[in-house]
Amino acid sequence: MGIETEYGVSVPGKPHVNAMLLSSQVVNAYAVDAFGSSRSKPRWNYDEETPLRDARGYDMTRAEADPSQLTDDDMGMANIILTNGARFYVDHAHPEYSSPEVTNPRDAVVWDRAGHMVMERAARLASRVPGGYPVRLYKNNTDNKGASYGCHENYLMKRSTPFSSIVEGLTPFFVSRSVMVGAGRVGIGQDGASTGFQLSSRADFFEVEVGLETTVKRPIINTRDEPHADPELYRRLHVIVGDANLSETSTYLKMGTTSLVLAMIEAGALDDTWMPADPVAELHHVSHDPSLQHRITTRSGASLTAVQLQQEYLAAAQRFVGADPDNETADVLGEWERVLVALDKDPLSLAGELDWVAKLSLMRSYMQRDSLSWDHPRLQLVDLQYSDVDPERGLAQRLERGGRLRRITSEDEVAAAVHMPPADTRAWFRGECVRRFPGSIAAAGWDSVVFDIPGVASLQRVPTMDPLRGSRDHVAALLDSVSSPEELLATLSGS
C-alpha cells in the first residue's frame, strides 16, 4: 500500500503567481539540496505507465482524455526519486509526494508523515531562492474556489478478483468511512459558497459511481488499471475518494480498515448487501451531516447511518479474521471498534484523534469566543491554517505539540523515513540504488531501476515487478558486496 498526496501551494499576497512554476521551484529547490543539482537526479521512468487503461477492459484514447490524465509524460516538470524510495514531483499545478510501497498501515503513516517533512523543507528552501517568493504549502484538498486536488491511496490486489466485486464491496464502505477519516471542511459545495461544516474536504467533488477520470467527473471507484507490478498476478487499486489527513489516527484507520475490506473482497466474503440506492448523493449527504444522523438508503430498502454501516463492515471483518488475528490486524480492528463506539456515543470525545472532529471543535471555539457564524471568512482561514505544513503556522501541528491531537509515530522514526526506504518492499532496492549510485541511474520507476553505465551502448534495466522482492533481507548482502553499479549488474546477470 502507499499514499500519494498533492499539496496546495500559494504565495501570500500574490494570488496570480503561476502554480506550475511555483511547484517546480519547490521540487527543484529540494533536488538541489538533496543531489547538488536539479539536473543530476535520476529521471522518472514512464515506460511502464498506462494511465488510460481501464480495469473494465478497454483503453481510453489520448484524444478522449483530459490533459490532466496524461500522467505518463512529465511535460518538462520537476521530478525526483528520493533515497527513501518515494517520488517527489510536479503533478500539473501541485507538488506531489508519492510514498514508497509499504506492507502495513502504521508504516503508511510513517512514510506519509515523512512526505510532510519533505514538503516542509522544500517550501523553506524554495522561499530562500534569490528572486523567489515566500512559499506556503498546505496538506489539504481544495482552494474553496472550485478546484480540488487529491490524496490517493494505492493497494495491491489479486488480479483474479472480479472488478465488479470490488465495486459492490467497496462503494458502501467509501460512502460511509468519512465519519472516521474525513479531514473536515468549512463550506458546502465545490466552491464552498454554501455555509456550514462537513466531514470530508473531497466529497463534494465526486460526481459518478465508477470511472477512469481523476480530475473531472470524479468517480467513487476509480478504474485506472496501472498495476506497477506483474499484470498477470496483480492490480493496483487506485483510490481517489479519500481526504488528505493531518491526524495520524485518521490515516492509520483509512489505510488499515480499507486493506481489511479489500482482503474480504478478495476472499469473496462481501457482496452488494449494503449498496446505497444513490451512492454519489449519499456520499454528499453523509459528509454534510456532522451530527452523524443522516440515514443511508440501500438498494434493498434498508436504512442506516454511516456509523451503523461502518459497524456492519467491522462485524464482517471480525468474523472474517476469526479469533486469533495477527498483531497488526488485531490493532486495526481494535482501533476501528473503539472509534466507532465513541462516534456513536459522543463524536466530540474524539477531538484529540480525528481530523474532522478536531477541526470542528476548533471552529466552535473560535465561533463562541468571537461571536462568529459559519459564513464568516475568518473560519475558512482557520480551516486553511489547520493544514499549513509550516510547524509554526499549522494548527494541526500546534495541536499535536500541545498534546491535543494524538500522534502514533515518533519524531526519530519519521526523520529516518525521510531518507531511508521501508525495509520489507522493493522500495528498499530502489532507494538504496539512488543513495549509493545516484550518478549511474538514468531513470527509475515503481517497477524498474535503469542504469547508465559508461562504455555500455544501451541502458541497463533491472525489473522490480514483484513488490515484495528487493527488500533489505533480499538484497542487502548483494548491495554490500559490490562497490560499483557495474559490479551490481554483473552479479545480477550472472556474468
**Residue range of the domain that includes 473:** 423-493
Backbone angles phi, psi at 410, to 5 degrees: -110, 155
Domain membership of residue 4 (yes or no) is no
Distance spanning both ends of the chain, measured CA to CA: 35
Mean of pLDDT values over 194-207: 97
Residue range 286-338, pLDDT digits in tens: 999 999 999 999 999 999 999 999 999 999 999 999 989 999 999 999 999 99
Structural domain includes residue 431: yes
What local confidence, expressed as pLDDT, does residue 46 receive?
63
Q: How far is CA 154 from CA 3, 295, 379, 432, 436, in A?
A: 6, 29, 32, 22, 28
In this predicted model, what pLDDT tens digit does every residue of 204-231 receive, in sequence order? 999 999 988 776 789 999 998 899 999 9
pLDDT range class, residue 376, cuts 50, 70, 90: very high
State the pLDDT confidence band at 62, using cuts at 50, 70 and 90.
very low
pLDDT at 25 over 70: yes
In this predicted model, which residue has the larger pLDDT, 436 or 39?
436
pLDDT of residue 60 exceeding 60, the answer is no
Neighbours of 131 (CB within 10 A): 4
73 catalytic? Reply is: no
Q: Is 255 a domain residue?
A: no
Which of 197, 175, 153 is CA-nearest to residue 310?
175
* pLDDT of res. 131: 82
Quick one: 13 exposed, middle or buried, by C-beta within 10 A (0-12, 13-18, 19+)? exposed
- Residue 35: what pLDDT? 86
Q: How many residues does the chain have?
A: 495
Per-residue pLDDT averaged across 462-477, rounded? 96
CA 240 from chain centre, in angstroms, equals 8
Please state, in angstroms and rounded to a whole number, the distance separating the CA atoms of residues 213 and 236: 16
Q: Is residue 207 part of a domain?
A: no
pLDDT at 329: 97
Q: Is the pLDDT of residue 439 over 80?
A: yes
Residue 420 has pLDDT above 80, yes or no: yes
Residue 74 located in a structural domain = no
Q: What is the pLDDT of residue 54?
A: 67
- Asked if pLDDT for residue 75 goes beyond 70, the answer is no
Rg, the chain, Cα only: 22
pLDDT at 216: 72
Q: Is there a domain that residue 58 lies in?
A: no
Percent of the chain, pLDDT > 90? 83
Q: Residue 150 and residue 137: Cα distance in Å, rounded?
A: 14
* pLDDT recorded at residue 457: 83
pLDDT at 50: 64
* Statement: residue 173 has pLDDT above 70: yes
**Residue 265 maps to a domain:** no
Q: Of the residues 73, 91, 346, 480, which is catalytic?
A: 91
In a domain, 236, yes or no: no
Give 50-59's long-range contacts (Cβ < 8 A, gap of 24+). 50/225, 50/226, 51/224, 51/226, 52/212, 53/224, 53/225, 53/226, 54/212, 54/223, 54/224, 54/225, 55/163, 55/223, 55/224, 55/225, 55/235, 56/163, 56/223
Structural domain count, the chain: 1
pLDDT at site 192: 92
Contact 44, 443 (CB under 8 A): yes
- pLDDT (tens digit, 9 = 90+) per residue, 93-148? 899 999 999 999 999 999 999 999 999 999 999 999 888 889 999 999 999 888 99
Predicted local confidence at residue 63, as pLDDT: 56
- Rounded CA separation 129/485 (Å): 34
Q: Where are the alpha helices (DSSP H) in 185-326?
A: 248-266, 279-287, 306-321
Average pLDDT, the chain: 92
SS3 444: strand
Model confidence at 76, pLDDT cuts 50, 70, 90, reads low
82-118 CB burial, b ≥16 within 10 A, e <16:
bbbbbbbbbbbbbbbbbbbbbbbbbbbbbbbbbbbbb
Is the backbone of residue 234 left (phi > 0), alpha (psi -120 to 50) or beta? beta
Q: CA geometry: angle at 30 spanning 25 and 36, to 5°?
A: 110
pLDDT in tens, 250-273: 999 999 999 999 999 999 999 999
